[in-house]
Every structure is written in structure tokens, then in C-alpha cells.
Amino acid sequence: MTAEIISVGTELLLGNILNTNAQYLSRELAALGITVQRESTIGDSHDRLADFVNEAKQRCDLLVFTGGLGPTADDLTKETVAGCYGDTLAFDPEEWQKIVDFFTRTGRKTTPNNRKQAMVPVNGHKIINNHGTAPGAWFEQDGHCAVLMPGVPHEMKAMWEESVCPLLLARQNCTLHSITLRVLGGESDIEYRVRHLLENANPTAAIYCKTGECEIRITARAETDSSAEKMCRAYATKFYDLLGDAVYDEDVTGLEETLVHTLKEKGLTIATAESCTGGMIAQRLTNVSGASEVFGFGFVTYWEQAKAKMIGVDPAAIAKYNVVSAPVAAQMALGAAEAAGADIAVSVTGLAGPNGGDAVRPVGTVYLGAACGETVYVKKLFVSRPDRALVRARAAQAALELALRLAQGKVPADTQALAKSARHDAAALTALDSTFLKG
Amino acid sequence: MTAEIISVGTELLLGNILNTNAQYLSRELAALGITVQRESTIGDSHDRLADFVNEAKQRCDLLVFTGGLGPTADDLTKETVAGCYGDTLAFDPEEWQKIVDFFTRTGRKTTPNNRKQAMVPVNGHKIINNHGTAPGAWFEQDGHCAVLMPGVPHEMKAMWEESVCPLLLARQNCTLHSITLRVLGGESDIEYRVRHLLENANPTAAIYCKTGECEIRITARAETDSSAEKMCRAYATKFYDLLGDAVYDEDVTGLEETLVHTLKEKGLTIATAESCTGGMIAQRLTNVSGASEVFGFGFVTYWEQAKAKMIGVDPAAIAKYNVVSAPVAAQMALGAAEAAGADIAVSVTGLAGPNGGDAVRPVGTVYLGAACGETVYVKKLFVSRPDRALVRARAAQAALELALRLAQGKVPADTQALAKSARHDAAALTALDSTFLKG
């Protein structure tokens, strides 16, 4: 089955809105085994849209539209597409009542314009919108179909999930099951290792890359739920075999969610001590609903005196080793764990740039610490592109990864350990410092 | 002049990548007074692309392509478009040397494939890429033009700014000047107030909305820089007249940048005390390069005991008024200012949801405090959509806005003041609390 995605709206052509709908629908259609051949954005012009639809209809089986279902004169997708599919629209009293109720509930009055939204296909059928006033529409002629959804992303996504996707599955007489693997590591490396698994008809597998990690979405189609699930699971095993424990979780929104869940399971708490990330790690942890069960104290110690006052970093250590150094990262983590009474504490001190840095510590140099029990583990990160936002994002990601591994009882190989009891021991701190400066 | 934007790449049709290039180019072309009539995404197929180009070429004056300039067999934009514009490609030794140098510098070897990238138009001309190995291309036939740029966003943007935009301006014999106004407030309200200014041929004005604020970009075309600048400034005045001091700055990346600059100018420092925003305010402040001149201490006090221990909130006040209350917000701000020795401190305590809340304090209820000198100012925010990310983002934005107004010496009308000396005064705290509970 082939499809095209059409976004309708002059505001898109002016660049006023980023088109996230097209990406969402591309992924969803790919997961259904439907090949998207073209995506187009067309302005709010009846004639241009009609010309386009008459051509596009011949090129593929299904046209998927978003936008242009509103009440204003500019909104003409439904009328135009109806014409192209030999259909007409009729007033639907049930939809009209829903619109009137919605306006009443929000303390407003309908205008004559709003009646437009209650017009539905005569030969085709309407699609219920549970999250807004504009119903969707389905048109069909000679085996060519068109589906129309609203342009507002959350309404469109809900209509897709609740009605359109089930409808397309029913027509193919099948169900869908997905697993999303979250994988730590660099994009090109991960993609290279799994590339031969990414070109499969069913299950499909697609990779989406983010800072310091990738998402691999596996989707199977089958006649029953349970066989789709089995196919998905079997295909996922192939990824696990190749990627090992770089796959850190399934079906989560990010590393912070897995970390919060893992800490909760193990009955552990975490604290943060941040310099160059400036609150980003705490912010990511508290993105997770329920984070308060494991996280209570975050220290943003941007100044040296904050590091000393809030989490007991020794100013002499800063003077001797530099504020961006392994001994300072170690003292920050130990001090934060102590001040918060937390089981684990992560720390970050680094140079995010764009200014500053020297030959020994160029912009992009970051030290991370993680205190856990009687030990603190330190690692060094270097981000070669001197991009402030990137350095900060990579540092926060690395800190969350380090915390997760320790919460799982694994000590990453690229860390150096220092005993908590040695936190003010000059010889031990100097040894720690020089390990990294040599490296 | 009319244009179409064409993104080439099967990975876009699969939804693996969000197409941000199309939005960027839409805005830029609109600013040049060029009408974008359609945007399309086409896969890596010679025949489909050629069919498309042959039609699109007749529909408008300029086709703007991104993607498909790489070294692999899939990358065929240049060859295909050359054919459609009656042009051919020839090997360019200068480009080839640049590619060889680039590979040598990065410790790699070129492959025969890479020679493809050194092929440039014979009748048209190449466009220098200072940020990657793929040069762009310009084709022209019977007054119809095509410009080809790489798909990697930072390479594309650089090539647009450095070469393509100047080229288009030179053809129109004009220069461009832009001013971006940053405006606080809700989208529909701002858009409604300035709508008649948004439909102008020159200067153009476009509005882009974000959480709690909008960006209005004004762009003028004229023969000289100075007249374009004057036109821009005159048009900006119309927006100032309508929006007053809701316009908080020009040409900045966000509220945090203006706040950091304002604090710097006034010689003031700031601290943060965050509960439901969990580090988001600190993180935004430290996004700004140079934030360390004004920000040193951030307290993420997610637990009640953290509020007590780190910034001296009275546990009895939490028990009496609730942790999400005006008295607690006031004590958080005053305590943070004191602990940090800062001139201004902002605090946030609220219910981000999705769980929790009751009739008095539903999810979305947030109290903000800002200590400044001998007074703390408190305000209440309610976000009706119970969306955790939205509540947090709106709260952080409101806190930055409150801090900015106080740094500017303005006390917002929707705040209630409490004297620092009354921070433990039961009668004063109860009075503060009840002001908000009534409201």
C-alpha cells in the first residue's frame, strides 16, 4: 500500500509553525507497512489544493491530510477533497450539538461559521474528534482513499491513535505491536552495528538518534495481538544480541525515567551537584512523574564559593587542582551525598564554553563524579565540538548514565575510584588528578 | 517571485528525521519577499525526482533543494536536477582538493565515491560549502532557477547565510535588515492585537509563538543597509505602540538572556529556589554564556526537608499553609537570597501533576516568590491543562519574568508584597495566604 502525506496551511508555508505532524505520520505509516512516497505542504487555496489532490490521488492508494478543518473561510480541506473524490457534505445534527455544547462549556457562543465544522461526508464517513470541535473525514472512490485530520498536533495524534490507525489495521485485517528500545551510545556506531536489521518488511525497525543515545522502534503486524507481540519480541532479541547492555530499557521516554524507576525498585535515593550543567540533571530527573520518591536535594553550585558552602568542597583543592578537575568532581559528589543524606550523588564540573579553556582544559572538558556507598567514581568526558548546549547536554546524559550503572550495581570501566575516607587525602587526590591528566 | 522548497531523502519519508530545514527556508524566503507556494519531500529515486522537478520548474521561478548531495549512490539530487535544467556536471579539481584535505585532516582516506561530490555544474555554478565536503549548486534555464544545498541543517544554514541569501538579494539588487522583538504574553492575545501588521509586503512581519511568549520578526528590503534598517525601526515602532513593555527585548534568544544582561548592567546577582520546576530556572539561566557573573547558587528543594535544611523554610509554615502556598514561596525566596548572599532570589512551589492536587490546589497551581531588598513579592499562577511539562515550563517562564521586572525596578501589579522582617510573623503570613486563597 502506498500513501502521501499532505499538510494544508499557508502558515506552514510561511514557516510560522514547525511541521511535526508529517514526521509523526511518516513513522506511523511506516510501522503499518504503508510506503510514504511523498510529503507535501499546500497553502489554503481551493484551486491549488484541488489540482494537487486530483494528481496525487492517481499516484497512490491513500492520501493522509492534516489541517484546514477549522471554522474560517480559509479552512477548505474538507470541501475541496470531497469534490475530488466525487463526494458531498451534509449537515450532521449530532456533531453540531457537540460543537454547541463545547462552546457553552467554555462560556462562548457559536457563530454561523461554526456550522461548517458540522458538515460530514455523504458517501464517506466522519471521524470522531474527542479532543476538539473539528471531526475528521474519510473519502473513498474506486479504491483510492483519503483521510482528513485536524492540524493541531495533539488532536491529530489522538484521532490517529483512537480512530484512523485502527481503521487502517481493520482494512488490512491485522493488529500492531511495538517495542521501543533505548540504546546508549553514538549514532553512527549504533546504526552501523544494526544496519542490516533496519531494512525489514515485518517487523519494521527504525532508528531515531538523540544526544548520547538512540531509540529503536520495532513494530510487527499480525492477525492477532499475541502473534504480533511474539514477532516483536523475537526481533528485539536480535538487537539485544548485537547491542548487549547498551540497550538500557524499553518503552521509556529517556534515561531519567529508567534511573528513577531503578532507584525506586532498589529503594535508593539520589542527589545532584551541578556546575556547568547548571540544573539540567535535576531538571531531567524531575521531568519524571514520581521523581520525588527518590530525589529530594539538588545543588547548583555555579560559583566556587557555592561548591564550598553548599557541599563542602575544599577551596584549597580547587586552588591546587583547578575547579574543572577529578578531585573537585569527587568532593562535589561526596559532599552532595552527605548534605542530602542520599545513597547516590552525581556531580559535574566542566567547561561548556564558548569562551574560556586552555591547552590542558579546552572547552568541552568535563569531569563527572558519582558517590555511592564508601566510594566515589570519577570519569572524564571530552566533547570536541565547542557548542555550549551540546557540551551541557552530553555531560548531563553521561551523569545520568553513570548513576544508572551504579544503581544497577555495575561499575563502568572508564571510571577511577576514590575511597570516601580519602576525600581530603592530598596524596590520594593528587594520584586521582594525575591519572586523568596523563590520559 | 515564487518558489517551492524540496527536501530530498527517503529517511525523511520514513520519519527518521524531523524536517527543520523546510521551516527555516520558509521563513527566510518570506523575509526576502519570495512567496513559497509548496513544500515537498521526495525520496531518493532518480525517476520520481526528475518527474517532480520537470513539473515544479514550470510552476514557479525558483526551486530550493536540500539534501542528496552526499557521496553515496543514493545521493542523486545534483545529477537529476542538472538534467532537468539542461545542464551537465564536470569534475572540479579545486573542490576535489578540498575534499582530500578534509579527509586527511580528520585522519581518513577518500573513496572513489567521494569524487561525485567534486562534480559541479557546467552552465550553472557551484556554491562554496565552508562547513562540510559537499558544495552546493545553482542551475538556471529560461529564467527558471534551482539552488541545491546540503541536508545537514548546520551546513545548509551556513550556506544559505553566506552564499544563497546574498545571491538572491544581489539579483533583486537589494539588502535585508531584520529586528526580532521578544514579547511576553499568550499567543492568541498578542497575535490578535498586532494582526493587521502581519500582512505587509515590505517590511514583512511574522510571529512565532513559544511557551509564555512570542517572537515577532520584522524584515525590510531596501537598496541600502541604512534605509533597510530605518524601515525596520519605523515598523518596529508600530509594534511597540501596540504592545508597550510586553516587548521585553530585541534580538535575544530568550527571557534568560535579557535577565542575565539586565542583572549584569545593574550589578545585581540572582539565586534560585525550585521545587516543581526542579532546576529548570537555573538551567535556563546557565544556558546564557556569561551567566556566572550574576548567578552562583541554585537550590533544588524538591523535598520539604530540603526546603528547611537548604533555605530555612519553617516546617511549621509548611504544615500550617501547605507546601504549595504563598507563605512557603515567600520563605523559599527569602531563604535562598540569604543563603546565597544574592540581591534577588526567585522561588517556585507548585503541583506539576499529573497526579495529586485537590479542590483548593488542583494540578497546575503554582506559587512564585521573588525576594528583592527588604521585600518578597509573591504571585500565583494556574495552568489549566494538567500537563506536567507545560506546568513546569510556564512556571519557569513566569519566575524569570518576575525576576526581570524586579531587576528593572518594576513591581508587577499581580503580586502581593511581604516585608522580609515579617517572614516568621504568623499574622502577616496568614494574611498573605488568605489573599491568594480568596482570589
B24 and A15: CB-CB below 8 Å?
Answer: yes
How does pLDDT run across B126-169, given as a tens digit for each residue? 999 998 888 999 999 999 999 999 999 989 999 999 999 999 99
The Cα of A77 is separated from the nearest Cα of chain B by a number of Å equal to 16
> Of the given ranges (A196-200, A294-298, B76-80, B371-375), which has the lowest mean pLDDT?
A196-200
Name the packing angle between helices B280-287 and B255-266 (round to 10°): 70
Q: Is pLDDT at B7 greater than 90 in this prediction?
A: yes
ipTM of the complex: 0.89
B positions 29-48 inside 8 Å of A (CB) = 30, 36-43, 48
What local confidence, expressed as pLDDT, does residue A71 receive?
Answer: 85
Q: Write down the domain spans for chain B.
A: 2-171, 175-250, 255-438
Please, is B215 exposed, middle or buried when counting C-beta atoms within 10 Å of its C-beta (0-12, 13-18, 19+)?
A: middle
Average pLDDT, chain A: 94
A positions 118-177 inside 8 Å of B (CB) = none
B300 and A280: CB-CB below 8 Å?
Answer: no
Chain B residue numbers with beta carbons less than 8 Å from the beta carbon of A274 are 279, 298
| CB count in 10 Å sphere of residue A54 | 12
Alpha helical stretches, state H, B151-269: 153-159, 165-171, 187-194, 225-243, 255-266
- Class of domain A255-438 (CATH, top level): alpha beta
Q: How far is residue A147's CA from residue A138's CA, in Å, rounded to a whole number?
A: 5
Q: Give yes or no for a contact between A350 and A336, defined as CB atoms under 8 angstroms apart.
A: no
| CB count in 10 Å sphere of residue A74 | 14
Q: Give yes or no for a contact between A322 and A313, defined as CB atoms under 8 angstroms apart.
A: no
How does pLDDT run across A213-238, given as a tens digit for each residue? 999 999 999 999 999 999 999 999 99
Nearest CA in chain B to A14: B26
> Of the given ranges (A276-280, B2-6, B106-110, B330-334), which has the lowest mean pLDDT?
B106-110
Dihedral angle computed from the Cα positions of residues B253, B258, B264 and B270, in that order, rounded to the nearest 10 degrees: -100
The fold adopted by the segment(s) B2-171 is: Molybdenum Cofactor Biosythetic Enzyme; Chain A (3.40.980)
A14 and B26: CB-CB below 8 Å?
Answer: yes
Q: Give yes or no for a contact between A276 and A350, defined as CB atoms under 8 angstroms apart.
A: yes
Q: How far is residue A289's CA from residue B308's CA, in Å, rounded to a whole number?
A: 23
Q: Is pLDDT at A182 greater than 90 in this prediction?
A: yes
Q: How far is residue B310's CA from residue B303's CA, in Å, rounded to a whole number?
A: 10
B16 and A207: CB-CB below 8 Å?
Answer: yes
- Record the cell numbers describing residue B53, joined without a space: 522537478
pLDDT higher at A385 or A330:
A330
What local confidence, expressed as pLDDT, does residue A259 receive?
Answer: 98
Task: Give me the residue label for grid cell 544574592.
Answer: B342
Nearest to B40 among A40, A206, A355 (CB): A40
Q: Is pLDDT at B188 greater than 80 in this prediction?
A: no
The percentage of chain A sitting over the pLDDT mark of 70, rounded to a whole number, equals 99
B298 and A305: CB-CB below 8 Å?
Answer: no
What local confidence, expressed as pLDDT, does residue A191 receive?
Answer: 84
What local confidence, expressed as pLDDT, does residue B316 receive?
Answer: 97
Q: Is pLDDT at A439 greater than 60 in this prediction?
A: no
Q: Is A389 an 8 Å CB contact of chain B?
A: yes
**Minimal CA–CA distance to B368: which of B319, B421, B406?**
B406
Q: How far is residue A380's CA from residue A113's CA, in Å, rounded to a whole number?
A: 62
Tell me the count of A-B CB pairs closer than 8 A.
Answer: 210
Q: Give yes or no for a contact between B420 and B330, defined as CB atoms under 8 angstroms apart.
A: no
Nearest CA in chain A to B293: A303
Q: Can you tell me the mean pLDDT for B289-317?
A: 97
The Cα of A413 is separated from the nearest Cα of chain B by a number of Å equal to 27
Q: For residue A104, what are the CA distances in angstroms to A98, A109, A152, A416, B98?
A: 10, 7, 21, 65, 67
Instruction: Answer whether the bond into residue B354 is a cis peptide, omega within 30°.
Output: yes
pLDDT higher at A315 or A104:
A315
B positions 194-233 inside 8 Å of A (CB) = 206-208
Nearest CA in chain A to B278: A283
Q: Give yes or no for a contact between A185 and A192, defined as CB atoms under 8 angstroms apart.
A: no
Contacts of A250 by beta carbon, 8 Å cutoff, 6+ apart: A179, A180, A181, A182, A236
Q: Give yes or no for a contact between A301 and B297, defined as CB atoms under 8 angstroms apart.
A: yes
Q: How far is residue A155's CA from residue A134's CA, in Å, rounded to a whole number?
A: 9
Best B41, B303, B363 member to test A by mutation, with max A CBs in 10 Å, is B41
The Cα of A342 is separated from the nearest Cα of chain B by a number of Å equal to 12
Q: Is pLDDT at A106 greater than 80 in this prediction?
A: no
Q: Superfamily for B175-250?
A: Ribosomal protein S10 (3.30.70.600)
Q: Is B377 an 8 Å CB contact of chain A?
A: no
| Phi, psi of A356, deg, nearest 5 | 90, -175
- Record the cell numbers describing residue B46, joined without a space: 532518480
Q: Can you tell me the mean pLDDT for B208-213?
A: 86
Average pLDDT, chain B: 94
What local confidence, expressed as pLDDT, does residue B107 receive?
Answer: 77
A positions 98-127 inside 8 Å of B (CB) = none
Considering Cα of B144, then B145, then B151, then B154, what sign does the dihedral take?
negative
Q: Is A292 an 8 Å CB contact of chain B?
A: yes
What local confidence, expressed as pLDDT, does residue B267 receive?
Answer: 98
Contacts of A212 by beta carbon, 8 Å cutoff, 6+ apart: A184, A185, A186, A393, A394, A397, A398, A401
The Cα of B401 is separated from the nearest Cα of chain A by a number of Å equal to 19
Q: Is pLDDT at A297 greater than 90 in this prediction?
A: yes
> Of the given ranges (A101-110, A401-410, B398-407), which has the lowest mean pLDDT?
A101-110
**Minimal CA–CA distance to B159: which of B232, B81, B69?**
B69
The percentage of chain A sitting over the pLDDT mark of 90, rounded to a whole number, equals 84
Best B39, B74, B204, B217 member to test A by mutation, with max A CBs in 10 Å, is B39
The Cα of A90 is separated from the nearest Cα of chain B by a number of Å equal to 30
Q: Is pLDDT at B250 greater than 70 in this prediction?
A: yes
How does pLDDT run across A367-388, given as a tens digit for each residue? 999 999 999 999 999 998 888 9
A26 and B40: CB-CB below 8 Å?
Answer: no
Q: How confident is the model at residue B170 (pLDDT cuts 50, 70, 90)?
A: very high
What local confidence, expressed as pLDDT, does residue B439 receive?
Answer: 54
Alpha helical stretches, state H, A14-164: 21-31, 46-59, 77-84, 93-105, 153-159
Alpha helical stretches, state H, B42-124: 46-59, 77-84, 93-105
Please, is B110 exposed, middle or buried when counting C-beta atoms within 10 Å of its C-beta (0-12, 13-18, 19+)?
A: middle
**Minimal CA–CA distance to A198: which of A237, A239, A253, A230?**
A239
A279 and B296: CB-CB below 8 Å?
Answer: no
* DSSP-based three-state secondary structure for A70: coil
Nearest CA in chain B to A278: B283
Q: How confident is the model at residue A46 (pLDDT cuts 50, 70, 90)?
A: very high
B23 and A19: CB-CB below 8 Å?
Answer: yes
**Minimal CA–CA distance to A4: which of A45, A44, A57?**
A57
How does pLDDT run across B213-249, given as a tens digit for each residue? 999 999 999 999 999 999 999 999 999 999 998 999 9
Q: How far is residue B216's CA from residue B207's CA, in Å, rounded to a whole number?
A: 4
Indicate the DSSP class of residue A103.
H
Q: Can you tell me the mean pLDDT for B45-71?
A: 95
A287 and B278: CB-CB below 8 Å?
Answer: yes
